[in-house]
Amino acid sequence: MFMMIGNGEYKISPYMEKSQLKDAEFLSISTYDEMEKRAKTWGISMSILKEARRFGYAKYDTFENFDCISLEMPDFQNVMLTHGSVVIYLEKGRVFFFTSQKQRVIDLLEESAKNLGERISLNRIIFLFIEAQTKEDYEVFDTIEKEIMDLEQILITSQKHNCVADIISLRKRLMFLKRYYEQYLNVLDILEENENGIFDGKTLRSFKMLNRRTDRRYQSVLNLRDSVTQVRESYEAEVDISLNTTMKVFTVVTTIFLPLTLIVGWYGMNLNMPEYEWRYGYHFVILISVIFIAAGIYFFKKHKWF
């Protein structure tokens, strides 16, 4: 598919002759299967496109007279998945999109063109497409922040004893977002340099604002990671306290029954003791055992050790 842009309007066509596009600003959208054919027609280096396609998340390469961007299109409803990838080959006045999700790219570009109206230009469409890759990220931040607050509440009220799975899930999602924003920021930093003069001043100012906004999002990811770390530490402290309480109970029980162990060892010896001949010896041993247990329980209760 081709989109030809000029005089404040755009024209979409499934196919256009190279001669029709010679002096016009246009963009092309193709699948990865069509990449080799399109590269041969327009004299684009296939090796550069293949290298860009292999790269994950986001990357920007500047070459002589053209730039090449590779982007993952994240799904902020499920940050561990993506909507597919796209490789963007940029020259002044023409742009080629190669993607695994052609219809999604077409929809985003058409929506950008309609929103621009008479202000439409190739530079603005590229900007809006790149901006769209993080446009819905506020939803995932709200979701993660709410999950962290719920975990904190759970730890305070002791409603749930095992929070490990929830903490691991949060850390994985935040790690994905952190890596994505790091590489996305690198793309914006290189893009602002505009070494090949592809973008005009107005578009560059828009990219600078997007860069600052993305940097704030990146800082939010780092802050959320710190919050998850604090929740994990609180959970570990609660587990330690619970373990210490359990060990304390075992220690008290062991201490209470320690005298009985001594009595068992004493009368378990194979010796002829005088108590064996006493009529009430057995009852006396039982009474001594009960007294030891009662005294131990009273002692520990008095000192509030259990």
- Written as tens digits, the pLDDT of the chain (306 aa) is 888 887 777 788 877 766 666 667 888 899 988 888 888 888 888 888 888 877 667 888 888 888 998 888 888 888 877 888 899 999 888 899 999 888 999 999 888 888 887 788 888 899 999 998 888 788 888 888 898 888 888 777 765 567 788 888 888 989 989 998 998 999 899 888 888 888 888 999 999 999 999 999 999 999 999 988 888 777 777 776 677 777 877 877 887 778 778 777 777 776 676 666 777 777 777 888 888 888 887 887 777 766
pLDDT of residue 19: 66
pLDDT of residue 249: 77
pLDDT of residue 270: 67
- How far is residue 200's CA from residue 191's CA, in Å, rounded to a whole number? 12
Inter-residue contact 9 to 120 (CB < 8 Å) = yes
Inter-residue contact 1 to 21 (CB < 8 Å) = no
Q: Which residue has the tokens 């290298």?
A: 51
**Closest residue by Cα to residue 95 from 209, 203, 211:** 203
pLDDT of residue 160: 58
Query: Within 10 A of 291 (CB to CB), how many other CB atoms are there?
Result: 11
**Tokens in use for 246?**
């359990």
The torsion angles phi and psi of 8, rounded to 5 degrees, stand at 70, 20
β-strand pairing of 94-99 with 82-91:
antiparallel
pLDDT of residue 233: 78
**Tokens in use for 280?**
């009430």
pTM (2 d.p.): 0.74
- How far is residue 263's CA from residue 305's CA, in Å, rounded to a whole number? 25
What residue spans define the domains of the chain? 1-133, 242-302
Correct CATH for 1-133 of 3.40.50.720, 3.40.50.2300, 3.30.460.20, 3.90.1720.10:
3.30.460.20
Q: Which residue has the tokens 């009595």?
A: 263
pLDDT of residue 211: 93
If 0-12 CB within 10 Å is exposed, 13-18 middle and 19+ buried, where does residue 192 land?
Answer: middle
DSSP assignment, residue 17?
-
Q: What is the CATH number of domain 242-302?
A: 1.20.58.340
Positive or negative torsion for Cα 196, 23, 36, 45: negative
